[in-house]
Amino acid sequence: MTASDPKGRQAALQAELERRNPGEPEFHQAAREVLESLAPVFGARPDYAEPGLVERLLEPERQILFRVPWQDDRGAVHVNRGFRVEFNSALGPYKGGLRFHPSVNLGVVKFLGFEQIFKNALTGLAIGGGKGGSDFDPRGRSDAEVMRFCQSFMTELHRHIGEYTDVPAGDIGVGGREIGYLFGQYRRITNRWEAGVLTGKGTAWGGSAGRPEATGYGSVLFAAEMLKERGEDLAGLTAVVSGSGNVAIHTVEKLIALGAHPVTCSDSQGVIVDEKGVDVGLLRQIKEVERGRLDEYARRRGGSARHLPGGTVWDVPADLAFPSATQNELDAAHARTLVAGGVRAVSEGANMPCTPEAVRIFQEAGVAFGPGKAANAGGVAVSALEMRQNAARESWPQERVEDELALIMAGIHRTCRETAERYGSPGDYVAGANIAGFERVADAMLAQGVI
């Protein structure tokens, strides 16, 4: 199959990927989205089609699986699985978060790592793509139990990472507490203060100001760029946000700062709808300090907020939507409801939170749609800035980091827009993100030979 038949090549690549990676639907979905975008690229650039380049891109450079034994506070022994998929290092050391959640398996980690390749390329920074995690669930566990798990996890992981090799960060279930325990164990084992080996660290010991805020802020900044392209802005617009973790909280915070009106958040037990607008301080207190549930938000907030057990934020009419929880949380039915409610822009704060059918509905309705590869790249961008500060033994002020983040997100938007236009799909940020990320990685892979 050659560049003369790009659609046939795409179908053949997809079929072979699914044969070689059975039972991994999230990875299949992520690969299909990219491959569908690349058909015009194969036609225009036959050098991308010939040397097995895409086949190499679809196969991780390294997949690491290991057991993680640990003891709970009663002395009982548990065994979880640990994963690290080092997917592509053509542009720099592998970079991507660690996710601790019961849903984590090899297919989920591969999908996340594959997405990370293109997301990281779009930032324009020297970072490759990888991802990792465990099926460990930190919810309901004591600090001592989480510490023991993290120490066991890092006892194996430490041999595979390093500031010039692979630099993990946080993700779902891995925040500042977990990063601290992981870094402490790495330092204990290696006898090195290698600050650049993990990002998302505390600002008192090598972390970057602005890193906790970066993914949520970046998602809002990307939405603002999409609206600006249409002659609009965020001020006065109503927004629905899913999730109530780090990304969702800072999405709400940035929306408020830019004059928008976020009215929802959610967790696994239900949805909050707050007509006065989400109180970000109360939300942060309950979710980050007390590690509580959202029904407590409704009790403390008063009459403006209601808790809907088992509900969905996508039933609330809004101008803007920010899916910021997890993959495939927003399906075709939700998309139709949002379109009927007048949504103007959707910006993915999570990784692949919209199903392919939902994305198609938004695009056909003329909704500005920011895919996660572009819209949520702010987190990894500031992680790379943290690496830069660590390498220089510097600590930047919050204002500098936020200025850098705004420039990076505007640059990602511009790259996606210009690339989509260059390939005959103006306004299609999905195609623009996939193609632009692919071109940068592919050019580096071609320059470095068949490895």
Task: Judge whether 246 is annotated as a binding position.
Answer: yes
Positions of E strands within 136-262: 166-170, 238-241, 261-262
H or E stretch including 87? strand 77-88
CA distances from 331 to 219, 221, 324, 412 (A): 20, 24, 14, 26
Q: Which residues contact 367 (CB under 8 A, 6 or more apart)?
A: 338, 339, 343, 344, 345, 346
Strand pairing report for 270-274 and 264-267: antiparallel
Task: Judge whether 170 is annotated as a binding position.
Answer: yes
Task: Judge whether 376 is annotated as a binding position.
Answer: no
Q: Distance between CA 231 and CA 92 in Å, rounded?
A: 37
CA distances from 176 to 171, 199, 214, 313 (A): 10, 10, 14, 27
Q: Distance between CA 174 and CA 180 in Å, rounded?
A: 10
Q: Which among 223, 219, 214 is positioned nearest to 380, based on CA atoms?
A: 214
Q: Which among 207, 322, 327 is positioned nearest to 254, based on CA atoms?
A: 322
And the tokens for 114?
Answer: 């594959």
Is residue 375 classed exposed, middle or buried when 0-12, 13-18 and 19+ CB atoms within 10 A define those classes? buried
Q: Distance between CA 352 and CA 293 in Å, rounded?
A: 25
Positions of E strands within 270-319: 270-274, 305-309
Give the angle 48-52-57 at the CA atoms, nearest 5°: 80
Catalytic residues: 131
Specify whether the CB–CB gap between 67 and 135 falls below 8 A. Answer: no
Q: Distance between CA 249 and CA 4 in Å, rounded?
A: 48
Task: Judge whether 119 is annotated as a binding position.
Answer: yes
H helices within 278-331, ranges in order? 280-284, 295-301
The 10 Å Cβ neighbour count of residue 230 is 12
Question: What is the 8-class DSSP label of residue 289?
Answer: I
Question: What is the 8-class DSSP label of residue 312?
Answer: -
Binding site for substrate, by residue number, is 95, 116, 119, 170, 383
Query: Residues annotated as binding site?
Result: 95, 116, 119, 170, 215, 246, 383
Summarize the annotated binding site for NAD(+) as residue ranges. 215, 246
